[in-house]
Amino acid sequence: MTVEFTKYQGLGNDFVLIDNRQQAEPLLTPEQAQKVCDRNFGVGADGVIFVLPGQGDTDYTMRIYNSDGSEPEMCGNGIRCLARFIAELEDKAAGASHSYRIHTLAGVIVPELLPDGQVKVNMGQPRLLAEQIPTTLNSPEEQVVQRPLAVNDQNWLVTCVSMGNPHCITFVEDVASIHLEKLGPQFETHSAFPQRINTEFVEVVRPDYLKMRVWERGAGSTLACGTGACAVLVAGVLTARCQSAATIELPGGPLEIAWAGGEEPVYMTGPAEPVFTGHLG
Ligand SMILES: N[C@H](CCC[C@H](N)C(=O)O)C(=O)O
């Protein structure tokens, strides 16, 4: 069976998107997705994203496999790509604005296509309690803000935020000096994170401009992480380092993130572009 796909990227975080509207189960297994993501033996991507039929009052369902075959709850850059892909599948006129209600393992997420081609996403509320991350770095009902964590014989102060998927944020003086390939895997598999963890290293340039690098759970070093940028803004607000809206500069480019605090949702605005279409198998 050949499977058609379209390759999309959001700030260089790239995905194979598959029209899966005809059945409730993904057309590829996690093992097949892993092979598709291989940058030498496959198409090459940070993940595979499936557009499935909606559930309840949602238009569609998004499922995603990381390049290691694991299934995360959500993907910020990926859902912007999914929204653009759906508009293409529905043959929506370019330049018009549309929003979709997407069922995900992180809850209902609402991306809106803006007339300029960018996508604005209501990413839902951040989860801040240790049990919601999940992590053992504090009592289950407590938040994890500037807690000590020993990694690579160094003591880091970390703040943990879930956007449906788990993130560990640490603020540093010079983000370019971080040895991501050495530190990333040690954070990712640390025993304090029973579901593993996405790790963001952040340099506050100004309260409305932060630079970050990311080691993603199940995907390694990527050029951008949308849920990670949201988690970084939330951690910046919780630690009084940044304003309620900021530009988060990733290696692949900037995302605009805003959070009014408390029970309010986090909003993310950024690009998503098609690259090419092809067939698998
Ligand atoms: N690797 C992440 C999923 C992809 C998230 C990232 N690509 C984004 O844009 O949010 C995880 O296992 O939680």
Residue range 218-235, pLDDT digits in tens: 999 999 999 999 999 999
Confidence of residue 281 (pLDDT cuts 50, 70, 90): confident
Q: Which tokens in the block code for residue 134?
A: 């999940």
- 233 and 149 in a single domain? The answer is yes
- 134 and 116 in a single domain? The answer is no
What distance in Å separates the CA atoms of residue 271 and residue 167, rounded to the nearest whole number? 22
| 165 assigned binding-site residue | yes
What percent of the chain is predicted at pLDDT more than 90? 96
Positive or negative: CA dihedral 25, 127, 47, 100: positive
- 164 and 276 in a single domain? The answer is no
Residues shown for the chain = 281
Cα 114 to middle of ligand 1, angstroms: 23
pLDDT, tens digit, 9 for 90 and up, residues 44-79: 999 999 999 999 999 999 999 999 999 999 999 999
| 138 assigned binding-site residue | no
Ligand 1 atom having least distance to the Cα of 78: 9
Beta strands 220-221 and 209-216 are: antiparallel
Q: Which region among 1-5, 135-139, 191-195 has the lowest average model confidence (pLDDT)?
A: 1-5
Cα 35 to middle of ligand 1, angstroms: 18
Q: What is the CATH number of the domain that holds 235?
A: 3.10.310.10
Q: Is 89 helix (H, G, I), strand (E, B) or coil?
A: helix
Identify whether the C-beta of residue 50 lies closer than 8 Å to the C-beta of residue 26: yes
Ligand 1 residue neighbourhood (C-beta within 6 Å): 13, 66, 72, 75-78, 165, 198, 216-219, 225-228
Contacts of residue 211, defined as CB under 8 A and 6 or more positions apart, other chains included, come to: 175, 202, 203, 205, 249
Total domains in the chain come to 2
ipTM over 0.95: yes
- 55 and 84 in a single domain? The answer is yes
- 222 and 102 in a single domain? The answer is no
Cα 133 to middle of ligand 1, angstroms: 14
Measuring CA to CA, which residue among 134, 142, 140, 139 is closest to residue 168? 134
- pTM listed for this prediction: 0.97
Segment 129-152 mean pLDDT: 98
- 47 and 119 in a single domain? The answer is yes
Beta strands 198-206 and 166-171 are: parallel
What range does the domain containing 53 cover?
Answer: 3-124+271-280
- 169 and 136 in a single domain? The answer is yes
How buried is 68 (Cβ within 10 angstroms: 0-12 exposed, 13-18 middle, 19+ buried)? middle
CA distances from 200 to 105, 210, 225, 261 (A): 22, 11, 9, 20
Please list the residues that pair with 213 across neighbouring strands.
201
Per the annotation, the verdict on 225 as an active-site residue is yes
Helix (H) / strand (E) element for 172: namely none
